[in-house]
Homo-oligomer: A and B are copies of this chain.
Amino acid sequence: MKSDKLSSLDYAQFGKVPLFKTLSMDAVIEVCRAGEVRKVDRGSFYFIQGDIADQMYLLLVGRIKLTQLNGDGQQILLRVIGPYSLFGLIVMAQVEQYPVSAEALEDCTALAWTQSCLMQFVSRYPVFALNALQMMALYTQEFQERLRQMATERVENRLAHTLLRLASQSGKKVATGVLIDLRLTRKDLGEMTGTTLYTVSRLLRQWENQGLITADREHIIICNPHGLVRIAEG
């Protein structure tokens, strides 16, 4: 991992990061100046599940995949994030180890802060801790909800929910619908939904035949969101 000091960046974007909410622009600039720039090549990891949790990151360029392994090598994909998203937030909660792995899907650039650095900012700007709490609460809610879906809903409902969530988190409007441009494989979608790549392939094909989506190899376009919602809701 190469590292550097931050030189000149578009500070306007930083203000929109939820962790910095209600901070003055001066404070935001001060915080960002204190971060180290860290670059990681495609396929490499910012951290691996079980590593000592010592740094929190703000992604500037690229895409990151957050995954969790179990004992026998099976993994689930928890989320895929893009620029101006935080990862490793757990560091603010003073947890010992990262509970997930963060893999660069493309060549990535991120800002990194150490735990002690973050704690200094917390004592100077107390709203920092409350913002972090708010973000963590949203994660808890999301995972509770996904857990409930996993426990009570069938694969087709869950996959439809996954597509809709991805579309709302990072979908782009195009002529024929909403494009999910995350280069997710059938295996990735299976790991997000709790099923196999075979079942994902069969369902996507079926929905494509029904005109609900266009499932090109890596670009999925949702043509009929309403129809997909009906499937998601059972």
Give the Cβ gap from A145 to chain B, nearest Cβ, in Å: 8
Q: Which residues on the B side are within 8 Å of A71 (C-beta)?
A: 233-234
**12 new A-B pairs (CB below 8 Å) besides A93-B133, A133-B133?**
A70-B148, A71-B234, A76-B151, A76-B152, A78-B147, A92-B133, A94-B130, A123-B126, A132-B133, A139-B140, A147-B150, A150-B150
Within 8 Å of chain B (Cβ to Cβ): is A112?
no
Which 7 A-B pairs have CB atoms at the shortest separation, nearest pair first? Answer: A93-B137, A151-B194, A143-B143, A129-B129, A150-B150, A136-B136, A74-B152
Give bound CA distance, A89 to B1, whole Å. 38
Interface residues of A in 19-77 (CB under 8 A from B): 68, 70-72, 74-76
Residues of the B chain whose Cβ atoms lie less than 8 Å from the Cβ of A141: 90, 95, 99
Task: Tell me how many chains of this kind the complex includes.
Answer: 2
- Whether the Cβ atoms of B140 and A70 lie closer than 8 Å is no
Distance from A142 Cβ to chain B, minimum over Cβ atoms (Å)? 9
How many angstroms from the CA of A70 to the CA of B133 in the assembled complex?
A: 25
User: Can you identify 20 A-B contacts, CB atoms within 8 angstroms?
Assistant: A68-B144, A68-B145, A68-B148, A71-B234, A76-B148, A78-B147, A90-B140, A90-B141, A92-B133, A93-B134, A94-B134, A95-B137, A95-B138, A129-B133, A133-B133, A133-B136, A147-B150, A150-B150, A151-B191, A151-B194
- Tally A residues with Cβ within 8 Å of B: 45
Kindly state the separation between the CA atoms of A194 and B76 in the bound complex, as whole angstroms: 17
User: Which B residue sits closest to A89, measured CB to CB?
Assistant: B137
Task: Say which residue of B93, B145, B233 sits within 8 Å of A136 (CB atoms).
Answer: B93
How distant is A193 from chain B, measured CB to nearest CB, in Å? 8
Q: How far is the CB of A4 from chain B (nearest CB, A)?
A: 29
Flag whether A149 is at the interface (Cβ < 8 A): yes
Chain B: which residue is nearest A130 at the CB level?
B129
Kindly state the separation between the CA atoms of A146 and B152 in the bound complex, as whole angstroms. 14
Chain B residue numbers with a CB within 8 Å of A70 are 148-149, 152-153
Interface residues in A152-171 (C-beta closer than 8 Å to B)? 152-153
A212 interfacial contact with B, CB 8 Å: no
